[in-house]
Amino acid sequence: MVLSDLKDQFEMMYKGREHPINIDTLIYNHCHDIFEKKLKEIEDSEQILTNSKLEKLVELLKNHAKNTNSRALILVEKIFYAKKICEFLENHSDLKNIIKPCWLVSQNSASNVKLNRSQNTILEEFQT
């Protein structure tokens, strides 16, 4: 999750430059090569990257979902975590067709990135 986000941010920074200078391109290419090499090393190691807290969350959600018409809230401090946990839950094979994850931001958040209309829709769907 985090690696894909880093890669996206990295690509966006470089491609966001209208006219990159030579040093920008050199740095971009070097960092891109290092990043790809590290990803390949992780793949080749066949090391399963897991997070015990996320796996526990999956277990809790599966148990909670056994009750029909149940709901759950997961509270986190950062928007980044909300997005990534939502993404993780959406893509988790054990939770497909069991839960409908979504995220929203506190109305008092300094970085309220979702429109109120979108957040209201999420809250209405949560209630029904």
> Can you give the residue ranges of every domain in the chain?
2-44, 52-127
What mean pLDDT do residues 93-114 have? 76
Taking 90 as the threshold, does the pLDDT of residue 4 lie above it?
no
Interacting residues of 54 by C-beta distance below 8 A, sequence separation 6+: 85, 88
The torsion angles phi and psi of 36, rounded to 5 degrees, stand at: -65, -40
pLDDT tens per residue across span 19-29: 888 888 898 89
Weakest mean pLDDT among 26-35, 75-84, 108-117: 108-117
Name the more confident of 86 and 107: 86
Which pLDDT score is estimated for 58? Answer: 94
